[in-house]
Amino acid sequence: MFGNLQILYAAPMLNLQLIIDGVLIGAIFALAAYGLALVWGVMNVKNLAQGDFVILGGYIAWYAQKTWGIHPIVMMPAVMVILFIFGWLLYITIIRLVINRDLFTSLLATFGLGLVIQQALNLAFGPEVQVATSGLETRTFFAGLQIAEIKVISLVLCSVLALIIILFMKRSRMGQAIRATSQDARAARIMGIDTDKVYAFTFSLNSAICGAAGVLIAMTWNIQPFYGITYSIRSFVIVTAAGLGNLPGVIIAALGLGAAEQYGGFILGLELQVAFLLIMLLGVLGYRQIQMAKLRQVVQ
């Protein structure tokens, strides 16, 4: 570990590299996390299959490229539509039934769902790690700083997507309906909003967002049927850190997590990748506890 710290100290550009790498990948985490925040905030469903939706999206893009040569970025809207429909179907069959149950039901049901998705992907595509090629280069800048073009493009796409979603939530009727339902479902129903449809839409929207994230992940990193759980944990960490309604918070937390992971992986070694995530999770939760305690003190 100290050897690694020494390397960081001796090569300052490396620090910048790690931060940039982290921020670029964090943008994609932010997408998946925001979707989770939506579903959690509006429907109180804690979707443990979040990461598996991401991987699923990645596989669709990869498969399309492998079979028909369609470039993943071109495929992205299609992936989003496919996953939207998928999410809708899931809602009608399973999710609808777990919404108003106790906290654990949604967790376990989505866990089972994740398991099915993982195994189905494994059966369909095999356990190999796959990558979708973007055909883009890695550019080298001053002092050996490397930035892959695809990562920058994915950052741009994430931002565009985030913007579209924000506008949608603010301006469109469905967006307003979603926000109303998340504030008070009963009141929304009284006002004539079909909360069932709102829930279906929210869940499907989440699914689509995850799909988009998956396409980007397939290009910038890699996918494998069982990688989903790590993304699920990441999303939970980010949402926990940021709080549910807080989109800017989600973005900052996600970028921060991305950078922290890069650093942690570098210093501690990647064999402790999940351990590091857990430390982050506990740290964040601990911090929240302290915050809550302080708040309680103030109130008292």
Q: Which is nearer to other proteins, 138 or 159 (CB)?
A: 138
Q: Decide: is 226 part of the binding site for other proteins (CB under 8 A).
A: yes
Element (H, E) at 213: helix 195-220
Of 257, 263, 225, 227, which is closest to residue 241 (Cα–Cα)?
257
Q: How far is the CB of 276 from other proteins (least distance, A)?
A: 9
Q: Decide: is 272 part of the binding site for other proteins (CB under 8 A).
A: yes
For other proteins, the binding residue among 227, 255, 257, 260 (CB under 8 A) is: 227
* Count of residues touching other proteins (by CB under 8 A): 68
What SS3 class is residue 175?
Answer: helix
Q: Decide: is 124 part of the binding site for other proteins (CB under 8 A).
A: no
What SS3 class is residue 147?
Answer: strand
Cβ-proximal residues to 66 (8 Å cutoff; 6+ apart), any chain:
none
12-43 vs 195-220: helix crossing angle, rounded to 10: 160
Cβ-proximal residues to 135 (8 Å cutoff; 6+ apart), any chain:
71
In the block, residue with structure tokens 């397939």 = 218
Q: Decide: is 153 part of the binding site for other proteins (CB under 8 A).
A: no
φ/ψ of 101, rounded to 5, equals: -90, -175
Residues 262, 19 contacting (CB under 8 angstroms): yes
For other proteins, the binding residue among 77, 135, 144, 245 (CB under 8 A) is: 144
Name the segment binding other proteins (CB under 8 A); options: 178-186, 195-203, 232-240, 251-259.
232-240
- Chain contacts with other proteins (rule: CB under 8 A): 4, 7, 10-11, 14, 17-18, 21, 46, 48, 94, 97-98, 101, 103-105, 107-109, 111-120, 122-123, 126-129, 131, 138, 140, 144, 146, 148, 221-222, 224, 226-227, 229-230, 233, 236, 240, 262, 265-266, 269-275, 277-278, 281-282, 285, 289
